[in-house]
Amino acid sequence: MPESAQTSVIGKPQPRIDGPLKVSGTAQYASDFHFPGMLYAVPVEATIANGKIQKLDTAAAEKMPGVRAVLHRANIGKISRSVMGKGFDGICIERRPPFEDDVVRYYGQYVALAVADTFEAAKGAADAVRVTYNKNKPNVEADLKADDDPDVVPTSYGPEKRLQSERGDPDAAFASAPVKLDQTYVTPAEHHNPIELQGATAMWDGDKLTIYEESQGIFNMRGVLAQMFGLPKENVRVITKFVGSGFGSKLWPWTHCALAVAAARQVGKPVKLVLSRKMMFQSVGHRARTQQRVRLGATAEGKLVSLQHDYVYHRSMLDNYHENCGEATAFQYSVPNLRVKFGRAQRNIGTPSDMRGPGAVPGLYATESAMNELADQLKIDPVKLRILNEPKIDESLGIPFSSRHLVECFELGLEKFDWSKRTPEVGSMKRDGLILGWGMAGCAWIAARFPAEASVHLRDDGTTRVACGTQDIGTGTYTILAQLAAEKTGVPLNRVEVALGDTSLPEGPVSGGSMVTGSIIPAVFAAADNAIASLLTVATSTPGSPFEKNKPADLAFEGGRVFVKANGSAGGVPFADLLRRANLRFVTGSGKSEASFGDPNPKFSTHSFGCHFAEVTWQPAIARLRVNRVVSVIDAGRIINPLAGRNQIEGAVVMGIGMALLEHTSYDQQSGAPINSNLADYIVAVNADVPKLEVHFVDFPDKEINELGARGIGEIGLAGIAAAITDAVHHATGVRVRELPVKIEHLLTSSVLA
């Protein structure tokens, strides 16, 4: 890598290269594609959550103008199940293909599909389908008690996920601990709410299938569809050029994809199916509700002696998605005696799935809240308590951390937030007639590499093209790819073409786990090195080339120019000149990153770390609570693009404010429906709820992840923030809220008066 500091584009704030396309409305999202003869499909949603279809009457719907087909179990044709292949191939969280049986297991499950010339005609026909059910009372009970064998290991998508963990004798250590804490924390079901609705446009050409879908993992989707429709993988092409955010809801294919494909097969035309906002709350995943009991035992000085984390989460009737609340529990603190254990409770709900920071986000809300309560009990500063229990190694695996700088994060956070001014007594801090509450929490999030492949072209017009079949879900992957290619080829950013989001490209990683950046760096760099090696061969083998007399090993490439090493970089020749002289449009190279995710015997424990400090204001007279200030400090290795990195953390903190104070999905006990299934009733944090956010990165490259030391960034920002806010709420009001979100009614018991 050229270390010429003045030309490097790594670590510099770079505006999105795709920004102009987005703000000018020319970026094409999946449902923006139109095709001649395209038809529209609208699903019929079950209006019960538990029962059987008794009768499905499509006669009236079929007669409506413009209606081409009404599909249901008897006429949809074969859709097979997908199975998980090796790596990210065939993962489908809701495994039952649509219409496989006549059982309804959750509200909104698709029971039929209307296909028509226009969206309006399809919607009219869907509404005209008459369905009668044998109906049972749904179980959507909020209180969770484990109802299956907790020793059953869920089918998770990677061995990297720590499921249960135990060391020492946590029961005995807890029993004899001088200081004890035993509390239960509850997080509600939450729904991802990307503004871009999910949907698919599918079309067949003989036995070849093309689908436009806003996927966070196009290659996995290709594998799933190939299995469902009995096709060789190479006959399936998935295209996702832009994604209007996903937050995990678009990681894995949902049943509507199969419906669009089956409908297109039936009618022999392209079919577009876009979900309604209401459907987004029913059938494309959500964050599972959790109940987490945390028991901490400590010495009077605050040294942890025992940590137990027992959690239960809800799951759907058929599926096995694991909400891994213990993700960070086993390694975050030094503690000799520990147990992490889970149970599950089946409910008549749509299948839960990954939602931004899955597992760790609800998990750290519980464990970090418990640490704050313990600090309170011990009358120790919560930051000091954490530093006192900082581990030297990952005690759960007995291996070193590749790079852990949480203490440095705390130190910077203390300074930036001015934490030393905090007076610990509840209600003791005031400003402008408002009570102030200050709280904090730490966080962690997994880091690893997924397998990745990339190609780099050097072209005779002086441009370069980098291709990787990953996705940009709004996080800045287009720009990161351009930065990596520019760095290696010396081509300015505005002359780099980036191709992603298409399964015809080299296989890229899923946009999940905040792992794309860390995964693609070795692949792009190797691809560029191979393209440069080809160029040097061209340079020495082209008659009339200035390097005709040299061997490739004599040459060097830097800043887009080839030169003889012995002569230094002066007099280098631009690569475009060499290609034109050889009458070559381009040379190309391919590269690969090996996976580290799922390594059963890792040498290092790799994670990102960080902390949040939050200030709330409390106005007791009118029970008004606001988040007033947040300082976040993140250790995510080297930051490739500080502008996009900061944006990721800010976005996550906004979601964290929503998690702490606003977001929750309620299920109707009678119908089983998620009742606040729209953006008016499902409340997310908006600009008026968001104060000044301050984001800092500590800069410690993690060379175990890749040569640049970048671990990737995103989800870490949502971990811990809700615990910091609820701690601040306690500091201001004296009320410990242990069930999210914090509601005004929780705070009416506050003893703090103005």
Phi-psi sector, 631: left (phi>0), alpha (psi -120 to 50), beta: beta
Please give the residues from 267 up to 326 whose contact with ligand MOS meets the rule CB under 6 A: none
Q: Which residues of 223-256 are buried (b: 16+ CB within 10 A; e: fewer)?
A: bbbbbbbebeeebbbbbbbbbbbbbbbbbbbbbb
Q: Cβ-closest residue to ligand MOS?
A: 248
Nearer to ligand MOS by Cβ, of 198 and 266: the residue is: 198
Our CA dihedral for 202, 204, 208, 211, rounded to 10 degrees, sits at -10
Nearer to ligand MOS by Cβ, of 489 and 596: the residue is: 596
3-class SS shares of the chain: helix, strand, coil, % to 5? 25, 25, 45
- CB-neighbour burial class of residue 551 (10 A; exposed 0-12, middle 13-18, buried 19+): exposed
Interface with ligand MOS by CB under 6 A: which range of 82-90, 242-250, 317-325, 669-677? 242-250
CB of 491 to ligand MOS, least distance (A): 31
513 in contact with ligand MOS (CB under 6 A): yes
Chosen residue from 289, 309, 344, 356 binding ligand MOS by CB under 6 A: 356
Nearer to ligand MOS by Cβ, of 354 and 395: the residue is: 354
Length of the chain: 754
Nearer to ligand MOS by Cβ, of 508 and 512: the residue is: 512
Interface with ligand MOS by CB under 6 A: which range of 241-249, 291-299, 413-421, 671-679? 241-249
CB of 752 to ligand MOS, least distance (A): 37
* Rounded CA separation 613/689 (Å): 17
SS3 587: strand
Chosen residue from 18, 213, 214, 354 binding ligand MOS by CB under 6 A: 354
* Rounded CA separation 192/473 (Å): 14
Interface with ligand MOS by CB under 6 A: which range of 246-254, 402-410, 441-449, 699-707? 246-254
| Interface with ligand MOS: number of residues (CB under 6 A) | 12
Please give the residues from 563 up to 582 whose contact with ligand MOS meets the rule CB under 6 A: none
Chosen residue from 87, 248, 717, 720 binding ligand MOS by CB under 6 A: 248
Tokens of 665: 């999905």
362 in contact with ligand MOS (CB under 6 A): no
CB of 116 to ligand MOS, least distance (A): 33
CB of 504 to ligand MOS, least distance (A): 23
- Binding to ligand MOS by CB under 6 A, coded x per residue (else -) over 19-48, reads ------------------------------
Catalytic entry in 94, 190, 196, 715: 715
Nearer to ligand MOS by Cβ, of 355 and 740: the residue is: 355
Tokens of 350: 């749509």
Q: What are phi and psi of 618, to 5 degrees?
A: -130, 125
Instruction: Note whether 415 and 617 are within 8 A (CB).
Output: no
251 in contact with ligand MOS (CB under 6 A): yes
CB of 705 to ligand MOS, least distance (A): 17
Interface with ligand MOS by CB under 6 A: which range of 39-47, 350-358, 368-376, 572-580? 350-358
Contacts of 247 (CB under 8 A, 6+ apart): 192, 193, 194, 355, 356, 655
Among the listed residues 713, 750, 741, 714, the one whose alpha carbon sits nearest the alpha carbon of residue 627: 741
State which H helix or E strand residue 642 sits in. Answer: helix 642-661
Interface with ligand MOS by CB under 6 A: which range of 74-82, 340-348, 353-361, 486-494? 353-361
State which H helix or E strand residue 273 sits in. Answer: strand 271-274
Interface with ligand MOS by CB under 6 A: which range of 207-215, 349-357, 637-645, 732-740? 349-357
- Binding to ligand MOS by CB under 6 A, coded x per residue (else -) over 206-225, reads ----------x---------
Chosen residue from 246, 362, 382, 720 binding ligand MOS by CB under 6 A: 246
* Rounded CA separation 374/420 (Å): 19
Nearer to ligand MOS by Cβ, of 210 and 593: the residue is: 593
Nearer to ligand MOS by Cβ, of 98 and 188: the residue is: 188
CB of 250 to ligand MOS, least distance (A): 8
Please give the residues from 708 up to 727 whose contact with ligand MOS meets the rule CB under 6 A: 715
SS3 313: strand
Please give the residues from 46 up to 85 whose contact with ligand MOS meets the rule CB under 6 A: none
Q: Let me know if 415 is a catalytic residue.
A: no
* Rounded CA separation 431/447 (Å): 40
Please give the residues from 452 up to 491 whose contact with ligand MOS meets the rule CB under 6 A: none
Chosen residue from 124, 223, 358, 522 binding ligand MOS by CB under 6 A: 358
Nearer to ligand MOS by Cβ, of 246 and 508: the residue is: 246
Chosen residue from 261, 279, 307, 355 binding ligand MOS by CB under 6 A: 355
Among the listed residues 499, 517, 511, 512, the one whose alpha carbon sits nearest the alpha carbon of residue 455: 499
Helix runs in 209-328, H state only: 218-228, 255-267, 277-280
DSSP state of 749: T
- CB-neighbour burial class of residue 420 (10 A; exposed 0-12, middle 13-18, buried 19+): exposed
CB of 473 to ligand MOS, least distance (A): 7
Compute the Cα dihedral for 9, 15, 18, 24 and give only its sign. Answer: negative
Nearer to ligand MOS by Cβ, of 30 and 556: the residue is: 30
DSSP state of 390: -
Nearer to ligand MOS by Cβ, of 475 and 540: the residue is: 475
* Rounded CA separation 524/455 (Å): 7
Tell me which residues touch ligand MOS (CB under 6 A): 216, 246-248, 251, 354-356, 358, 512-513, 715
Active site residues: 715
